[in-house]
């Protein structure tokens, strides 16, 4: 049965998911905007981001109910059902991730893994100075930052449309959908 966010506070994200999210955000943003790519910190922040994603994948099988892939994996059936819901004017808010949000999250995590792998290859003698690999690494990084910007913007917009504290819930773990009367 489909579970929806009720009008009372609901515990959704466990501490690991929240710690994972904001640590990943910090590593990615620092690596892209602050730390120089020749710096040792670049490699360590990059590996930390990669490690966080690997642990999150394991957590997707053994973690709390809404952290599990089985709860939100964007299957074609779930995506179709979500679109049908939107078309019929329904404003249903799933307790966990909505399937389109989940699609974006998987893309973001895949890009981080791609950066970890291409970055590691760049440190090997075999690929030292390989221009195509540097270009690939850079393209993955730019795509990650672009999609992350879209992802953050969607979280802000969807949170407003659905009157749900999506971003606050990633901080406190608790989701709350305000009833219409509470909206100014
Ligand atoms: C480099 C930047 C970012 C990356 C790589 C990223 C990645 C992710 C990932 C992988 C998840 C899934 C969490 C999980 O299930 O473990 C997620 C969820 C989420 N992120 Fe981000 N994120 C970024 C920036 C942001 C920012 C800046 C915001 C706030 C404006 C944000 C808001 C959220 C929210 C609200 C969710 C949960 C959505 C829901 O309730 O379904 N993210 N993000
Ligand atoms: C979140 C993960 C990462 C992000 C966002 C990221 C981003 C970037 C960016 C934007 C550049 C500059 C590209 C250019 O302008 O030429 C770069 C270069 C580089 N990165 Fe990463 N990176 C990440 C992870 C890693 C990892 C894990 C490693 C190594 C283990 C690594 C190794 C390198 C190397 C060696 C370069 C220099 C390549 C060149 O000379 O163009 N990166 N990275």
pTM of the model: 0.93
| CB 93 within 8 Å of CB 4 | yes
The C-alpha atoms of residue 64 and residue 16 are separated, in whole angstroms, by 9
What does the pLDDT look like over 21-64, one tens digit per residue? Answer: 999 999 999 999 999 998 999 999 999 999 999 999 999 999 99
Give me the mean pLDDT over the 105-121 stretch: 98
Task: Please say if the pLDDT value at position 89 is more than 80.
Answer: no
Q: Is the CB of 24 under 6 A from ligand 2?
A: no
Centre of ligand 1 from the C-alpha of residue 152, in Å: 7
> In the chain, which ranges are continuous DSSP H helix?
15-29, 40-62, 69-72, 76-87, 99-122, 131-161, 166-172
Enumerate residues lining ligand 1, CB below 6 A. 17, 20-21, 24-25, 28-29, 56, 97-98, 101, 105, 108-109, 148, 151-152, 155-156, 166-167, 169-170
Q: Is 30 helix (H, G, I), strand (E, B) or coil?
A: helix
Q: Which ligand 2 atom is the nearest neighbour of the CA of 134? A: 41
């Amino acid at each position: 049965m489909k579970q929806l966010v009720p009008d009372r506070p609901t515990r959704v994200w466990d501490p690991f998911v929240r710690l994972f999210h904001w640590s990943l955000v910090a590593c990615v943003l620092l690596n892209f905007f602050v730390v120089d790519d020749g710096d040792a910190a670049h490699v360590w922040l990059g590996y930390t981001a990669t490690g966080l994603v690997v642990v999150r994948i394991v957590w997707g099988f053994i973690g709390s109910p809404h952290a599990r892939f089985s709860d939100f994996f964007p299957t074609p059936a779930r995506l179709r059902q979500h679109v049908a819901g939107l078309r019929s004017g329904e404003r249903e808010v799933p307790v966990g991730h909505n399937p389109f949000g989940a699609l974006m999250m998987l893309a973001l995590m895949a890009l981080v893994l791609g950066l970890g792998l291409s970055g590691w290859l760049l440190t090997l003698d075999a690929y030292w100075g390989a221009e195509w690999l540097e270009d690939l690494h850079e393209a993955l990084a730019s795509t990650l930052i672009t999609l992350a910007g879209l992802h953050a913007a969607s979280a802000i917009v969807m949170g407003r449309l659905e009157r749900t504290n999506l971003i606050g819930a990633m901080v406190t773990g608790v989701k709350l959908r305000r009833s219409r009367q509470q909206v100014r």
